Amino acid sequence: MKDSQRSENEENKIKEQEKEVNRITFSQFGNQILQYFNFEKGILKTIRLLVLNPGEHIHAYLDHDRKRLMNPFKFYVITGTIYVFLFKYALPQEAFEEVQANSELEQQFLEAFVDYYHFFILVVMLFIAVFSYLLFKRSSGKNMLENIIFNLYVAGLLFIISILASPLELFFQPYGSILLSLVSLFYFLYAYVSFFRGSRIITILKSALSMILGVVSLMLIIIFIGIIVGIISTMNT
């Protein structure tokens, strides 16, 4: 008898809880999406902290406080996806329209570059992370993965800067693009100086060298791939 009464009571509690659940609305559904991507607190808080003092807060995330910042991979994916949408559908594409593909294969390569631009930037940042690890290994003591995480946060914030500056690129060409490049470079160096503590001049030189070596190494690989693609396309014609 007691077991049957308990089961009935549990069923009644479940029914009462189901009655208390309201019908879903667009507002509720939107809040659930924001909570899933951690938009309400996580991303806005992360942006603010990365602007104010990227070194201190990334160090805190790496060393003892995983809740200080949004997950670096999620932060990069969200900011990169938003930027790619603007890059493809809102920002001027004259540079890509002027490029004449010599074959269908090369045209597909250019289209893939535009569609997956944030993945291209991710590869760039990974190459930069390799050289930042090598150049700052002794002074910082950070391992390879920690360098990757740091550079992901930097890349995500650079995406945010590009998103906010997109009106300048649209209406004040070419000065908007020049200003955006200067601000992006300033934040890149500022983040490195803040994170890799020590002599500012040496840190700036090492960070610039990390960026140059990373970009040049990747460009050499891309040129090599482009040569292979060109050879394959000429063999097929």
SS (H, E, C) the chain: CHHHHHHHHHHHHHHHHHHHCCCCCHHHHHHHHHHHCCHHHHHHHHHHHHHHCHHHHHHHHHHCCCCCCCCHHHHHHHHHHHHHHHHHHCCCCHHHHCCCCCCHHHHHHHHHHHHCHHHHHHHHHHHHHHHHHHHHHHHHCCCHHHHHHHHHHHHHHHHHHHHHCHHHHHHCCCHHHHHHHHHHHHHHHHHHHHHCCCCHHHHHHHHHHHHHHHHHHHHHHHHHHHHHHHHHHHHHC
Confidence tier at 133 by pLDDT (50, 70, 90): very high
Amino acid sitting at position 223: I
* Average pLDDT of the residues in 74-83: 89
Q: Is the pLDDT of residue 31 over 80?
A: no
**Domains in the chain, number:** 1
Which tokens hold the place of 40?
Answer: 């309400």
Q: For residue 63, what are the domain limits? A: 2-236
Confidence tier at 47 by pLDDT (50, 70, 90): very high
Tell me the whole-structure pTM to 2 decimals: 0.74
Q: Is the pLDDT of residue 113 over 50?
A: yes
Q: What is the pLDDT of residues 200-233, one digit of tens each?
A: 999 999 999 999 999 899 888 878 877 887 787 7
Q: Is the pLDDT of residue 95 over 50?
A: no
- What is Dmax (Cα atoms) for the chain? 85
